[in-house]
Chain A
Amino acid sequence: MIRYAWLVPLFPALAFPVIAFITRRLRTLSALVGIGAIAASFVLSLGILWETLTSGVTMEKPVEYALSWLALPGAKDWVLKIEAGVLVDPLSAVMLLVVTLVALLVEIYSVGYMHGDPGFSVFFGYLSLFSASMLGLVLANNFFMMFFFWELVGLCSYLLIGFYFHKPEAARASLKAFVVNRVADFGFMLGFFYLFLMFKTFNFRELAEALPHAPHMGLLAVAATLIFAGPIGKSAQFPLHVWLPDAMEGPTPVSALIHAATMVAAGVYLLARAFVLFASIPEVSLLVAYVGGFTALFAATIALTQRDIKRILAYSTMSQLGYMIMAMGVGSMTAGMFHLTTHAIFKALLFLGAGSVIHALHEQDIFRMGGLAKDMKVTTATFVLGALALAGIPPLAGFWSKDEILLAAYSNGYTGLYILGTVVAFLTSFYMFRLIFVAFFGRRRAGLHGHESPKCMTVPLIILATLTVVAGFIGAPFVPHGFSSWVYFGEPHHLEPNYFVMVTSTLVAILGIYLAWLIYGKEVISAEALAQRWRSIHTVLYNKYYIDEAYLWFFRRVVLGLAEAFHWHDRHVVDGIFDGVGDTVRWSGYRLRYLHSGSLPVYALVFFAAVVVFVLWVATPVIGGIR
């Protein structure tokens, strides 16, 4: 199976042109092609994971094979060598399965959600292209190839956020996502080019081997920091997080697949892939840990006050990604990847549930919903299950993975980050159950009545809910040969279950739920009064710390001001020079052509004159005895 790993991205990659050029008019067929392709990839991924775990492929002994894509033999060594290769180890095998699973369920779900949309076929085409790029990114065996797919998923994200391009907000949001990500990607690109200059290779394994012989640790730290810019952008970490909430303008299945489960996790995956680089520089690790931790807290506080169901989930995603990145920073790749896996499942579940609600009500403001539990039994049940998992209630998936992160922070001596993580756990359960009590159980505020979604939408919800219950056990501390013995850095480590950490995190989660119930369920504490009391804080949180405004101000005043200045300079100085150069070039072209007089004797003369000149040039020193 592992030998055929390259087929995994190829299936959806082929589905894209088929849908775009052949089945575009035939909507059902387009959906079938897309789903069939990703289903094939899913089955193959299952096989790959199975073979990886049973045939002794480990993190130290991965399977790697590559085609040389571009190769330049130099005088002594390779001047440049770029491969198109596949690297299969437990890390990529797990990630493949996560991506194909979520993509498969999301595509099935989309059949119902996008039903009747004029861009139905195109939507499936884009989803296939995205899946192909994401799977390519996962399998990449070198930075160059990863960057290629990294850009491609960015492009798909742009296309899908702007899927409803006739809506100005969607168009703006897609542009914002693209621009913000370009800034980050530029840093990433500089970083790995820098590495290439130092080590003359893009290949992950060759880099890992060469790393101990790094010529200069300072330069290496610069490269690592630049590479970290990539995850900051793609995984929406502070301060480049601003694009993710706006990205919710895209169709909800897209939010579930791209902006919750897979693409935004690519940043975390990159950190895992290049873990050896980050682990070898403590200062950069610390930066990673604190950026992640800060984002986790920062996003969770914003989520407390938001009213839009998808935006709450988006901030929650940011916060959870912060957790994962923090885990990478505190040195536990296992915990980060485990949380990535479980989070992909329950966050996809939550988004798809939210999509089900939106599909029924055409409304996204939770304070205009209410009492949905009566109309939408399946959706409500699965959504609550997802929220419990996210809040970290045992024995659901989120509990185990979040605990692993908190434990890693606690036992690796980052007590500050541990406390911060626990606070975030409390906030998480509070804002999630605020959402649930308001939207699903409260009174019908705007008189909107929902109805249950069709089978093709509820079945994926049920599957994901089931996985939410069981997935945590693959990494639970009492399970032998679990997740931590597959995906690890250094040596497989098995943390002893720490009951202090477990009990504390469960208690704060329950506390958060209880508080939410008091305020929004039983309404014994008035939310209004609280908001009035802490008015200034509430306003700041509701406006997301005014970061968008600050950026806007910065761009309007500073960047546009500079742009004006540059524009003038361009118009009058640079253009002048370039026009001048262009004119000179053209003018010399027009002059030089008259050398070609058309007269044969002149041609012959030029020929012979050139020979004579060259003979004199070369032969004179020889005849004169100089050479």
Chain B
Amino acid sequence: MPVWELLSVELLTAFLGLGLLVLGLLVPKGQKRGLGYLAALGLVGIAALAFALREAQGVVWEGYIIDPFGTYFKLLFLFAAILTCVSSFEYIGRLGNGEGEYYALIILSTLGMMILASAGELITLYLGLELMTISFCILATYRRGDMKSAEAGIKYIILGALSSAILLYGLSLLYGSTGSTLIKDISLVVNSGGVTPLMVVGMIFLLGGFAFKMAAVPFHMWAPDVYEGAPTPVTAFLSVASKAAAFAAFLRVFFVALGDSHPLWAEVIVALTILSVVVGNLVAIPQKNIKRLLAYSSISQAGYLLLGIVAFSTLGVGAILYHSMLYVFANMGAFMVATVFYNADKSDEIQDYAGLARRSPLLAAVMLFSLLSLAGIPPLAGFVSKFYLFMAVIDQGYIWLAILAVLMSMVSVYYYLQVVKVMYLGDPPPGRPAIEVPLGVQIALACSLAVLFLFGIYPTPLTNYAFSSAAAFFH
């Protein structure tokens, strides 16, 4: 396959992003909404292309790997980006500035994630990571007059820069101890038993950098604050896509390049898993703000995804792929509801959701099923994906870890149902009108719900895709 065809998804994404940047300057002020539609439609087209090319395999210039594994993640990022764009129309339209740049940044960060998922070389990986992070820093501060948004921005840029400095130091040590930045060359050196102390230090620095992006405890401190302060659609995108991108890059680096030193870092991952699952779920309990609650829930989800890394098997990787895809729809569903609700009521406090079921049955239902899927209740897709993750670790003998994860899942039901209780049993504040949901958002909500039910009742098509991608990853 020619190079341009292998890279077509990335190239088109880049064109779309840059095109929107230019168009944003040309389109007159009143008609900028069209930019959002254009972004969403363009992403749908790119997603269709990526789906058509899902079996494509090839290496571009030694360091850029196109394979089903990477393409699976690219589809995931694209879905997340589409849902983000759709839920942004109203929200960003109201901010009244920089719509073109907003959508361009969303798409450029998607491009960064795609590069992360396909990078077979450390410099490429670093550039993808920074493209994603810096775009997100700008997006987090997008509500310019807002104190919380400004604070979220400063926290994300400083902590993000710090973490990437540490990651970069790790990369330099890895390069220094193997003499190459190509993942396949590094894996050759590691395979021949050349693990030096320098490399081990680099490895842990690298792990810290990735864990920061995953928001795994104890590298998660930034997440709740940034999630709360950033514009809601951005938070949604940040919580699903950047996490998944970190997992994609982590798998590539640690399973392929450093796969043979697995015993060295395995225990650290187990520790991260336990901490994430426990702290994420426990601290979610007292939260009063829906975005903060979902932030802690996403920390715990990082913990569940880490189970697949603990398993260190095809089943584990397949389970990560499957869970992260469904996590996109469940989490985006919940955040889309939060966005629409914010547009109507200017509030993110859970107590203000009282009686939402009566003000908008659709919103309440989507929130309900998204949360239940996150909690892993059958027949929703989250149940199947968690089941796979748990089976993956049990398969490797970590039964106690699975039990801990199940117990903490039960804790998560408690705080998810708190929200449900408020929505369904609470009385709406007097004089509040019914909430109108824009058509585009209605469609997006219906799609997320359909995905959650479809793959909960009949998971096989997606599991087959996920597992075959995972198998291709291990070749």
Contact = CB atoms under 8 A, between A and B. Distances in A.
Is any CB of A less than 8 Å from a CB of B in the complex?
yes
B283 A619 contact: no
A73 B282 contact: no
Q: Pick the most buried of B201, B207, B279, B283: most chain A CB atoms within 10 A of its CB.
A: B283
A70 B391 contact: no
A591 to B, nearest CB: 9
A608 B200 CA distance: 16
Nearest to B411: A585
A72 interface: yes
Contacts of A74: 315, 395
Contacts of B315: 72-75, 79
B264 A70 contact: no
A610 interface: yes
Given A75-B315, A80-B391, A600-B155, A70 B384 contact: yes
Interface in A561-612: 582, 585-586, 588-590, 592-593, 595-596, 598, 600, 602-604, 606-611
Nearest to B392: A72
A607 B221 contact: yes
B459 A70 contact: yes
Interface residues of B, number: 53
Contacts of B285: 585-586, 589-590
B279 A607 contact: no
A100 B474 CA distance: 50
A603 B268 contact: no
Contacts of B282: 585, 588-589, 592
A529 interface: no
A618 B261 CA distance: 11
A590 B388 contact: no
A117 B314 CA distance: 58
Contact of B218 (A586, A606, A617): A606
B200 A589 contact: no
Interface string B135-168: 0000000000000000000110011001100100
B269 to A, nearest CB: 10
A618 B286 contact: no
Contact of A590 (B267, B286, B460): B286
B330 interface: no
Contacts of B264: 618, 622, 627
A233 B411 CA distance: 37
A79 B458 contact: no
A313 to B, nearest CB: 39
Contacts of A622: 195, 197, 200, 264
A618 B204 contact: yes
A72 B314 CA distance: 10
Contacts of B203: 618
A606 B205 CA distance: 14
B331 interface: no
Contact of A589 (B166, B286, B396, B464): B286
B155 A623 contact: no
A589 B284 contact: yes
Interface string B448-472: 0000000000111001100100000
Contacts of A582: 414
A596 B268 CA distance: 23
Interface string B196-240: 010011011101100010000011011011000000000000000
B208 A611 contact: yes
Interface in A45-82: 67-75, 79-80
Contacts of B395: 74-75, 79
B212 A607 contact: yes
A517 to B, nearest CB: 58
B221 A603 contact: yes
B91 interface: no
B207 to A, nearest CB: 7
A618 B411 contact: no
Contacts of B265: 618
B457 to A, nearest CB: 9
A587 B163 CA distance: 32
Interface residues of A, number: 41
Interface string B370-405: 000000000000001000100100011000000000
A80 B225 CA distance: 41
A500 to B, nearest CB: 56
* Main DSSP-derived SS at the A contact region: helix
Contacts of A609: 218
A615 interface: yes
Interface string B260-299: 0001110110010000000100111111000000000000
A615 B201 contact: yes
A71 B282 CA distance: 32
A596 B283 contact: yes
B398 to A, nearest CB: 13
Contacts of B391: 72, 79-80
B216 to A, nearest CB: 10
A186 interface: no
A614 B225 CA distance: 25
B355 interface: no
B318 interface: yes
A301 to B, nearest CB: 46
Contact of A71 (B200, B283, B460): B460
Interface string B388-429: 100100011000000000000001001000000000000000
A530 B4 CA distance: 99
A69 B387 CA distance: 14
B268 A617 contact: yes
Nearest to A592: B283
B442 interface: no
B201 A617 contact: no
Contacts of B414: 582, 585
A617 B388 contact: no
Contact of B283 (A68, A73, A593, A615): A593
Given A73-B315, A73-B318, A606-B221, A611 B205 contact: yes
B360 interface: no
Contacts of B225: 596, 598
Contacts of A593: 283, 286-287
Contact of B463 (A71, A600, A627): A71
A619 B197 contact: yes
Nearest to B199: A622
A600 B318 CA distance: 36
B208 A610 contact: yes
Interface in A80-101: 80, 84
B313 interface: yes
Contacts of B162: 604, 607-608
Nearest to B467: A73
A398 B414 CA distance: 59
16 contacts: A69-B459, A80-B391, A585-B285, A588-B282, A589-B285, A603-B221, A607-B162, A607-B221, A610-B208, A614-B208, A614-B268, A615-B204, A617-B268, A619-B200, A622-B200, A627-B264
Given A615-B201, A627-B195, 15 more contacts: A67-B458, A69-B459, A71-B467, A72-B388, A72-B391, A585-B411, A586-B286, A589-B282, A592-B282, A593-B287, A596-B283, A603-B159, A604-B159, A610-B219, A614-B207
Q: Which 5 A-B pairs have the closest CB atoms?
A: A589-B285, A603-B221, A589-B282, A610-B218, A611-B208
